[in-house]
Amino acid sequence: MKLIILVRHATAVDRDIDSPDFDRTLVKKGKKESTKMANIFKSHQIQPDIWISSPAPRALETAQIFAKILHYADSKILQEDKLYTDNSAGAYMALIHTMPPEKNSVIFFGHDPSISDFAALLLKNFELNFQKAGVLVITLLQEDWKLIRAGEGFLTAVEFPKSDQRIRQLLKENLDNLITTHNKQLLKTVFPKYQSKILKSMKGLTDKVVKKILKIITKK
């Protein structure tokens, strides 16, 4: 199982035609957003194995604030030019396929539209507006980074600075699909003859488990 965490950089200085876009830094609001979201993410008790950021100051500053709160040395944050220069979902996917097999999680700090496009590439029916300083946690059942393909991810956590009513339903759908897909894989190996019948009998239980998980992770 692999985890991909996506973080969009926090609020930065407005674009100025007289200044390079690359040089834009976080404003006071952006630093507060990053601190708030980093503390919320810390509560999930996920410690990413690999940290990769766009080298643009607004993304790197966001990563450094997260690193400080999660007690990760900011000197170990990898900077990847393509997360700024390429600005496509393909750049992220190419990086994913190069991750060391012994590592199970990676966190990216990047920009829109590429970071939203990558989330949409991995997930089915991803229609959220990826807020600045927002965090998405995507779970994949593959054991090898090189085998990860489009549409194979499951959204298992969303943390945004502002509430979005669509989050709960999206999480519900993804958690249901994750549990069902995992059970299918397990039963195909252990009870191939009875896979369909057992899955049908487990449907009600899966619904109850998903509701319980949502109640816990959304604190409602």
Q: What is the pLDDT of residues 171-193, one digit of tens each?
A: 999 999 999 888 888 888 888 88
Mean pLDDT along residues 152-156: 96
The contacts of residue 124 (CB under 8 Å, 6+ apart) are 151, 177
At 213 the pLDDT is: 87
AA identity, residue 206: T
Whole-number Cα distances in Å, 102 to 50, 78, 105, 106, 145: 11, 17, 10, 12, 10
Query: Containing H/E element for 5?
Result: strand 2-8
Q: Where are the domains of the chain?
A: 2-163, 170-217
Distance CA 69, CA 41 (A): 10
Mean pLDDT along residues 190-218: 83
At 178 the pLDDT is: 93
At 154 the pLDDT is: 96
71: confidence class by pLDDT, cuts 50, 70, 90: very high
19: confidence class by pLDDT, cuts 50, 70, 90: confident
CATH classification code of 2-163: 3.40.50.1240
pLDDT tens digits for 100-122?
A: 999 999 999 999 999 999 999 99
2 DSSP β-pair partners: 140
Look up residue 162 and give its DSSP letter. Answer: S
Please, what is the end-to-end C-alpha distance for the chain in angstroms? 28
pTM reported for the whole predicted model = 0.92
Helices (H) and strands (E) in the chain, counts: 7, 6
pLDDT tens digits for 28-61?
A: 999 999 999 999 999 999 999 999 999 999 999 9
Place of tokens 């191939």: 192
55: burial class by Cβ within 10 Å (0-12, 13-18, 19+)? middle
At 220 the pLDDT is: 46
- Residue 198 region by backbone torsions, left for phi larger than 0, else alpha for psi between -120 and 50, else beta: alpha
Total residues found in the chain within this entry: 220
* pLDDT over 50 at 210, yes or no: yes
